[in-house]
């Protein structure tokens, strides 16, 4: 299935918005996971608006490559995993649950599952940094709780935004 130019541009803009939000939120708020709000909002929006089965993964790949080039975040090339895992979960859940983007609960569930993948990337980066296994587990769990909460909050506005975009004719049926 080919992707149209309009859809490719939309995915590119979502990736740019992910990075813009991540750059703006580089503030030291001492709240783990606050950037997950915008990451999952735009990944869910990308998959809900573009009817391609790998739309969120492609958007996440674009955002990950741009973050890698710009040197955003910790972990070097492993930053691609931080973006790709949530994108793949969003695509998988959209394939399993066809009416997902009309349901607030399903969007929140998908966002929670996608945000929970940050546990694995945090764990991997901390282990590769040489931290003690017990501390790594606690650190990854604490970060994951914040990621899940903010990810679920990011999933809340998605059905309403998609409904509005359809009502205004911005999306193809």
The CATH number assigned to the domain holding 85 equals 1.10.1760.20
Q: Is residue 85 part of a domain?
A: yes
| Cα–Cα separations (whole angstroms), residue 155 to 6, 16, 17, 71, 117 | 24, 18, 16, 27, 15
- The pLDDT of residue 16: 95
* Residue 50 DSSP code: S
Asked whether residue 172 is assigned to any structural domain, the reply reads no
pLDDT of residue 101: 94
Residue 46 pLDDT: 95
Domains: count for the chain: 1
Prediction pTM value? 0.92
The verdict on residue 173 lying in a domain is: no
Helical spans, DSSP H, in 50-170:
55-70, 79-96, 104-116, 118-128, 133-155, 158-167
Residue 11 near residue 62, CB atoms below 8 Å: yes
User: Residue 4: which region, alpha, beta or left (left: phi > 0; alpha: psi -120 to 50)?
Assistant: beta
Alpha-carbon span 75 to 68, nearest angstrom: 9
pLDDT score at 98:
86
On whether residue 11 sits in a domain, the answer given is: yes
**Range of the structural domain that residue 73 is part of:** 5-167
Q: Is the pLDDT of residue 126 over 70?
A: yes
pLDDT digits 0-9 by tens, 70-117:
888 777 788 888 899 999 999 999 999 988 999 999 999 999 999 999
Contact 75, 121 (CB under 8 A): yes
pLDDT confidence of residue 149: 94
Confirm if 59 and 15 have CB atoms less than 8 A apart.
Answer: yes
Residue 22, pLDDT > 80, answer yes
Tokens 């703006």 -> residue = 24
pLDDT at residue 173 in the model: 63
Of 40 and 28, the structure prediction assigns the larger pLDDT to 40
Burial 119-144 (b: 16+ CB within 10 A, else e): bebbbbbbeeeeeeeeebeebbeebb
């Amino acid at each position: 299935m080919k992707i149209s130019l309009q859809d490719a541009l939309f995915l590119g803009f979502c990736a740019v918005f992910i990075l813009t939000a991540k750059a703006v939120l580089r503030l030291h708020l001492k709240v783990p996971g606050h950037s997950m709000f915008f990451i999952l909002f735009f990944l869910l929006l990308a998959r809900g608006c573009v009817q391609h089965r790998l739309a969120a993964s492609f958007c996440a790949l674009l955002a990950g490559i741009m973050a890698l080039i710009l040197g955003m975040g910790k972990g070097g090339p492993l930053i691609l995993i931080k973006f790709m895992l949530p994108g793949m979960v969003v695509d998988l859940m959209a394939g399993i649950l066809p009416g997902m983007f009309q349901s607030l609960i399903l969007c929140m569930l998908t966002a929670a599952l996608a945000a929970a993948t940050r546990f694995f990337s945090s764990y991997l980066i901390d282990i590769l940094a040489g931290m003690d296994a017990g501390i790594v587990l606690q650190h990854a769990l604490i970060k994951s709780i914040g990621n899940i909460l903010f990810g679920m909050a990011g999933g809340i506005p998605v059905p309403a935004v998609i409904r509005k975009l359809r009502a205004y004719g911005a999306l193809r049926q």
